[in-house]
Amino acid sequence: MITDFEYYNPVRIFFGKDQISKIAGQIPSGSKIMLLYGGGSIFRNGVHEKITETLSDCDLTEFGGIEPNPSYETCMKAVEQIKAEKIDFLLAAGGGSVIDATKFIAAAAKYSSGDPWDILAKAAPVQDSLPIGVVLTLPATGTEMNRNSVISRKSTTEKLAFSSPWSLPRFSVLSPEAAGSLPKNQVANGLVDAFVHVIEQYLTYPVNAHIQDRFAEAILITLIEEGPRVYADPADYEAMSNLMWSATMALNGLISCGVPGDWSVHSIGHELTALHGIDHARTLAIVLPGLWRVLKEEKKEKLLQYGERVWKITEGTEDERIDLAIRKTVDFFESLGIRTRLRDYNVPRETIDKIVRRFEDRKWLSLGDRGLTTPSATRKALEYQY
């Protein structure tokens, strides 16, 4: 049965070409705006120029250098500058890292109950935030239309998430054109991240949620069909448009309404990024097949449905069909140049112990769908993928 749910997503979306010019009308006049960005891609794909042109009459400061897997340390530097300059609107331009960092910065700038790290480490509630606008140049995370943010702390090699309605952007410009300048490895990351987001909300157990299931399957099929096209040519505007909207729809809350979720692939994956710096999507491609192999029996019904509806697998015993569905998923990831074994990334075996110990220390003893991801399931999944 679908459980009771409340769905509210107020993010205004501007999708397509020539949309950046619309942001001027979305920012209250007289605002002191800070444009936040990463390592400089926005200077090479025309996004910086378009933003500064459309905001030429505004009071605009910049904060660049936000790194992939954004750090708490960098975020706090932005917070200092915001306070010193009395900034009151944040505009994030780039991928998930810049947007997530901006969400944390916006909350930290208004946080008055101590160290803002507590928002991540102790789930301290966010009770206020600076308003945020977004120009998205990398389809992957869905952060442009959700309330989540993931931040790393270099000093402790931790990567933690928080979620707050205060972090929903006021608007997001989705630019498939700007994403045309992405290197192939980032396109592959985006495809796999969006794919696994859908899986984490869909591949649990049946609850007769037909719309949620069929939306999820539609996104997965679109990613499988468009994946090779957009990977071959990121500047293929049509294919990139399909990837971009798929990635946004994959994690804007729609497909998770009233259904169970999992998210343990992400929890384990974040540890691999925190400890070894592996790209987020690649960690998911490593963990997912291992966890499926461990939880094959418990997730049987949904694995069979996934195999049949997404991969059109209709023949063989149940076991054979599930194995084939897992194999096809791995082949899809590998076809995008994404390796799925720990040894492909030179991760030592000791990392498995370290991750299991961290989960035990944090009392994360039953993660995900029905609490099935115990420390021992995590260990087995990672051992499968060695």
Judged by the rule CB under 6 A, the positions of this chain that interact with ligand NZQ are 38-41, 45, 68-69, 94-98, 100, 137-138, 140-143, 146, 148-150, 178-179, 181-182, 186, 189, 193, 251, 266, 280
Tracing tokens 């999507």 back to the chain, one arrives at 281
Task: Find the Cα–Cα–Cα–Cα dihedral 129, 134, 137, 140, rounded to 10°.
Answer: 50
Q: How many CB atoms lie within 10 A of CB 295?
A: 22
223 interface partner picked from Zn ion, ligand NZQ, none, CB below 5 to 8 A per type: none
Closer residue to ligand NZQ, CB minimum distance, 40 or 114: 40
Q: Which long-range contacts (CB under 8 A, 24 or more apart) does 110-118 make?
A: 116/76, 116/79, 117/72, 117/153
Q: Is 369 among the residues that bind Zn ion (CB under 5 A)?
A: no
Q: Which option in Zn ion, ligand NZQ, none does residue 138 bind, with CB closer than 5 to 8 A by kind?
A: ligand NZQ
CA-based nearest residue to 326, from 364, 291, 378: 291
Residue 251 binds which of ligand NZQ, Zn ion, none (CB < 5-8 A, kind-dependent):
ligand NZQ
Closest to ligand NZQ by CB, 31 or 41:
41
Q: Quick one: what does residue 69 bind among Zn ion, ligand NZQ, none, with the CB cut-off 5 to 8 Å set by partner type?
A: ligand NZQ
Q: In the bound complex, what is the minimum distance in angstroms from residue 143's beta carbon to ligand NZQ?
A: 3
Closest CA to 302 of 12, 89, 310: 310
- Segment interacting with Zn ion, rule: CB under 5 A, options 36-44, 186-194, 271-279, 336-344: 186-194
Closest residue by Cα to residue 200 from 292, 270, 112, 130: 292
In DSSP terms, which residues pair with 160 in a beta bridge? 151
- Residue whose CB is less far from ligand NZQ, 247 or 313: 247
* Residues in Cβ contact with 136 at an 8 Å cutoff, skipping those fewer than 6 apart: 94, 95, 99, 144, 172, 173, 174, 175, 179, 244
CB 322, min distance to ligand NZQ, A: 25
Q: Rounded distance, CA 183 to CA 309, Å?
A: 31
Show the tokens assigned to 179: 């994403």
Collapsing DSSP to helix, strand or coil, 104 comes out as: helix
Q: Which stretch binds Zn ion (CB under 5 A): 55-63, 188-196, 304-312, 356-364?
A: 188-196
Strand partners, 12: 171
Q: Does residue 193 bind Zn ion (CB under 5 A)? A: yes
Residue number of the CB atom closest to Zn ion: 193
- Work out what residue 39 binds among Zn ion, ligand NZQ, none; the CB cut-off runs from 5 to 8 Å by kind: ligand NZQ
Identity of the residue, 251 or 295, whose beta carbon is nearer to Zn ion in the bound complex: 251
Enumerate binding residues for Zn ion (CB under 5 A): 193
